[in-house]
A and B are shown apart, each in its own frame.
Chain A
Amino acid sequence: MDVSSALLIAYVALSLALPYLLSGDKSLTTFSTYVALSVIAIVTAYTRLKRWAKVE
């Protein structure tokens, strides 16, 4: 398994684990944390696919 695949799986695990870490939050922290996590996952996925697309 390459690094980007492992990172993507880690982001999925983190997205499921974060509610427990952020529970009790009364501000917009959860909202912004999940948006940031999604952006990071998208950038990682795109970087991986760009590398894959170059093989052709």
Chain B
Amino acid sequence: MSELVAVLVGYLLVITLVTLWSRMRSKTGDPVDYFIASRGLTGFISAMTYAATTYSAFMMVGLVGLSYATGVGALVFELAYLISTVAILSTVGIRVWEVSRKQGYITPTQLLREKYGSYWTTVLVVFMTAIALVPYSAVQVVGPATILSVISRGTIDYRTAVTISAAIVLLTTLTAGLRSVAWTDAVQGTIMLSSAIAFAAWLLSRVPPESTASLGNLELLSPLNSFWTPQVLIAYTTPWIFFAITNPQVFQRLYLPKDRRAYTKMVLYFSIFGLLYTVITVSVGLAARALSEAGILTLQIDVRSRADWNRVTPLLLTYAHPVLSAITAISIISAATSTVNSIALTISSMVSYDTPVPDRLKLAVGKIVVIAFTIVIYVFALTTPAFVVDLAVASSTILLPLLPIYLFSIYGYARKLPYIVTTVTCLPLSLYLTLAKGVATPIPKEALVVLVSFSTYLVTVLVSESIKKIKQTQR
């Protein structure tokens, strides 16, 4: 217990010092510096903020549990995400970086607003993005807060743990905007990776070599098994392979590297981080299962109950040395807050720049949105109403209709009417499909949303072009 408090106090001290240090490097009162650090980040800091933003508490809690219960299919799903993200960053991403510098874009939706020329449709995109990401952020805080209250045996209660997480989000976003977010992300990313390595090393050192056979016999080493059917694999991977384009908090990070060399380093360092972090977290889950099957650890997890999967990491922490347990718990808080503060800042920038806010008020409104966002996730994390949990699970799927919209704008095929039609029809459709229970679709609904969104855009292009030609002929 004393180890946990000591590690937590040390962590909060480091985060505060880094935040204050980054404030000294910021240009006070400049919204461009506040929201995107004047596009001047080095490759290393860009990579760390990208990694810490994209890899959330899901990794050490959700992915460990998923690997424990379903096996190596979890690695397939998560590495398919990494491979597709690396492919996107080195193709589409470089165009985004070039366009953002040439046009001076600050937010992802600013690109849509200016390329498509429809102001109110972009406001709708901002609104739908907030609907998808606010619940996702709230649920991010729930897992680490539960872990902290469990391993401290109630000394740090759930409410206190949620308050600490919310305070970190406010401190890192309000002090110096993206500079403090990016620099603390770098520290938090380092904690996430190093503690995961230490935790995995401790666990793997206890696995007897012959126990791999038990995993094989349970079909946990096969990429397709009773859980990972082709349909499930497609449903899980589809939102994630396009995550780098559809999720604004990571899209905006493409604007940050100061030059091409910094961008290249960002992709390389992020890739290495992602590969290590994924392999380690899946190994933790598989090792825990092997130890459990061998009777070395008694975890009492019911693998048929999905709610039980998230208990794997908290239970493992009770077996670890108190210092290792404390550092790992702090790393999970780091993963959550580094994701949430990035989302808070991105949404605040979108509200400031892509809704009717006067220029002189952009910075002030951005900070007010950050505070309001944090209050909402604080309340949601304390009450966790069912609709928030449902929305959080569906967040990436809800944003899938933005895939064709962003791609066509980046590659110079932006058309106003298809943008309006796709946004107005497909975003509500994806929201409905992901939340409605018992709706049968011929293919996984995630893949269906992608197909319908592309089709809607292209059909509207064809129809509007045909109408234009007919009108020209009549004249």
Contact = CB atoms under 8 A, between A and B. Distances in A.
Contacts of B73: 19
B275 A39 contact: yes
Contact of A42 (B219, B264, B272): B272
Nearest to A1: B91
A15 B94 contact: no
B45 interface: no
Interface stretch (B143-151, B223-231, B357-365, B438-446): B223-231
B178 interface: no
A16 interface: yes
Interface in B82-105: 82-84, 86-87, 89-91, 94
A37 B223 CA distance: 15
Contacts of B94: 49, 52
Contacts of B260: 52-53, 55-56
B228 A19 contact: yes
A35 B222 CA distance: 15
A16 to B, nearest CB: 6
Nearest to B73: A19
Residue picked from B241, B264, B268, most chain A C-beta under 10 Å: B264
Interface in A5-43: 5, 8-9, 11-12, 15-16, 18-20, 22-28, 30-31, 34-35, 37-39, 41-42
Interface string B202-235: 0000000000100011010111100010100110
Given A23-B224, A45-B87, A49-B263, A15 B79 contact: yes
A26 B76 CA distance: 15
- A-B pairs, 10 with minimum CB distance: A26-B216, A19-B223, A23-B224, A45-B90, A8-B87, A53-B260, A49-B264, A42-B271, A15-B80, A56-B260
27 contacts: A4-B90, A8-B87, A15-B80, A16-B234, A18-B223, A19-B228, A20-B230, A22-B223, A26-B216, A26-B222, A27-B212, A27-B216, A27-B221, A30-B76, A30-B223, A31-B75, A38-B271, A41-B86, A42-B271, A45-B90, A46-B90, A46-B264, A46-B271, A49-B264, A52-B94, A52-B264, A56-B261
Interface of A: 4-5, 8-9, 11-12, 15-16, 18-20, 22-28, 30-31, 34-35, 37-39, 41-42, 45-46, 48-50, 52-53, 55-56
